[in-house]
Amino acid sequence: MTEKRPLVWLSAAQSTSKVRSTLGPRWELTDFNAENPVPLLLSPPVGAKVGILDLSQGATDDMPWFEHWLEALNLSYWVGVVAHRPISGTRTAQLITRYCSDFHTLPVDSDRLDTVLGHLWGMAVIREPCGTLPRDGYQSLVLEGNSLAICQARDLLRRFSVTAEPVLIVGESGTGKDAAAQFIHQHSTRASGPLVTVNCAALPESLTQSELFGYEKGAFTHALSAHAGRLEQAIGGSLILSSIDELNLEQQSAILRFLQEGQIERIGGSNPIRIDSRIITTASQPLTELIEAERFRSDVYYRLGGLEIKLPPLRDRREDIPALAEALLVSSALGGEHKPLGDAAIRSLVNHSWPGNFRELQNRLRQGLLLCDRDEIKPEDLRLAQADTDDAATSNLSLEEFRARAERQALSCSLALAHDNISAAARILKISRVSFYRLMEKYNRGHPGDHYRQGSSPKGDLP
């Protein structure tokens, strides 16, 4: 018997559409809706690639969570189901054109729908890269999680993806800057174009111009043929300048003209070449601090930092660590053997300071798998100090303090998931709007529009 394929059904409320009963036997349906939001706090079914967006009841502007859920589920393709052909400019039409590869009007031709879903499933399969994870396993997970910090970061990444402005991504080493840059490219209008990455930290000063701008045949002794530089290779796509804070002042001066005019000349050439590419830069240090220390040019910064996002370190999103660790363990399992984390190991992971962020987390988990001779992984297998398992910051908390922390986090997660819609957030927590407002007042949250939309941290959040 053929294994069933997971199919996501996303709707505003519990759907009773007759379309559901006509789906072919090869599909296994999973519901995501405002009345049953718990799965949205977790993840889509393993292996899910396509989904049905049920808009048969219409969609209004007071349903902002639709877009957030569509992004959170992150499927390859969506097919819309509507009551009638959408009118241009309406909320339903916007969702269809932005997220769906096809749409069907009621009554739906079940055979045609099944064919379309099967075709999109096949397209998703052949688009998948070889293997389940990239070479650096954490890169596929670093942006996952439900903490307020990472939800806000993802929201900015989505917003910045649809523009053509340069984006600067700042974060400590191991926080996923490369993954964030790739996310912007993959969700931009240039996703079908080339993605060229320049590692500025490994760029020798003597080769800066030849590597970036290219050269003509005979430009120097060993220039036996013309060569297109990295900037030219990125035409029509995105250019990632990784670790730009590692460039010295002379190297920064070399790229200033390109940033100002959007064109280059190959070494030995005289014809300007227009570079039409989206510029994404990453830095481990705040460039404003480097400018004050006279180690970075302000004119270069102002042409790179039009849109800036700071990725949170792992210690600022501790509530995500247990799920991330479990996912990394599965991806790193040796010889097909997977061992779970014991309770003490989970506590040690949550309480660790993580100076190396995700790279350190990945390395410690791999080490734990290799060193563990028991049924479950212990703190000593992870080479974490005993102090990490009994952190002073949490060991003296009372039950009331733990409850308050949980309530504050529930507010943050539900608001992030509902995209600041109070009614939707209250439904997620299965409480009334009045109770939700009382909780917000209790923890001095105020209305989310006062701060969350501006990207600042709400009062009363977890430390």
Structure confidence at residue 139 (pLDDT): 62
User: Which CATH architecture best describes the domain 318-395?
Assistant: Orthogonal Bundle (1.10)
Q: Tell whether the model's pLDDT for residue 64 goes beyond 80.
A: no
Percent of the chain, pLDDT > 90? 17
Q: Do domains 148-310 and 318-395 have the same CATH topology?
A: no
Structure confidence at residue 74 (pLDDT): 72
Q: What is the mean pLDDT of residues 210-236?
A: 85
5-127: CATH topology: Rossmann fold (3.40.50)
Q: Tell whether the model's pLDDT for residue 231 goes beyond 70.
A: yes
Structure confidence at residue 42 (pLDDT): 43
Of 3.40.1440.10, 1.10.645.10, 3.20.20.140, 3.40.50.300, the CATH number of 148-310 is 3.40.50.300
Structure confidence at residue 76 (pLDDT): 80
Q: Tell whether the model's pLDDT for residue 452 goes beyond 50.
A: no
Q: Tell whether the model's pLDDT for residue 2 goes beyond 60.
A: no
Structure confidence at residue 461 (pLDDT): 35
Q: What predicted TM-score, i.e. pTM, was given to this entire model?
A: 0.58
pLDDT (tens digit, 9 = 90+) per residue, 297-313? 999 999 987 799 999 99
pLDDT (tens digit, 9 = 90+) per residue, 247-274? 999 999 989 988 888 888 898 888 889 9
User: What residue segments make up the domains of the chain, in order of their start?
Assistant: 5-127, 148-310, 318-395, 399-454
pLDDT (tens digit, 9 = 90+) per residue, 164-188? 889 999 999 889 999 999 999 988 8
3-state SS string over the chain? CCCCEEEEEEECCCCCCCHHHHCCCCEEEEEEECCECHHHHCCCCCCCCEEEEEECCCCCCCCCHHHHHHHHHCCCEEEEEECCCCCCCCHHHHHHHHHCCEEEECCCCHHHHHHHHHHHHHHHHHHCCCCCCCCCHHHHCCCCCCCHHHHHHHHHHHHHHCCCCCEEEECCCCCCHHHHHHHHHHCCCCCCCCEEEEEHHHCCHHHHHHHHHEECCCCCCCCCCCEECHHHHCCCCEEEEECHHHCCHHHHHHHHHHHHHCEECCECCCCCEECCCEEEEEECCCHHHHHHCCCCCHHHHHHHCCEEEECCCHHHCHHHHHHHHHHHHHHHCECCECCCECHHHHHHHHHCCCCCHHHHHHHHHHHHHHHCCCCCECHHHHCCCHHHHHCHHHHCCCHHHHHHHHHHHHHHHHHHHCCCCHHHHHHHHCCCHHHHHHHHHHCCCCCHHHCHHHCCCCCCCCC
* Confidence bin at 443 (pLDDT 50/70/90): confident
Structure confidence at residue 123 (pLDDT): 80
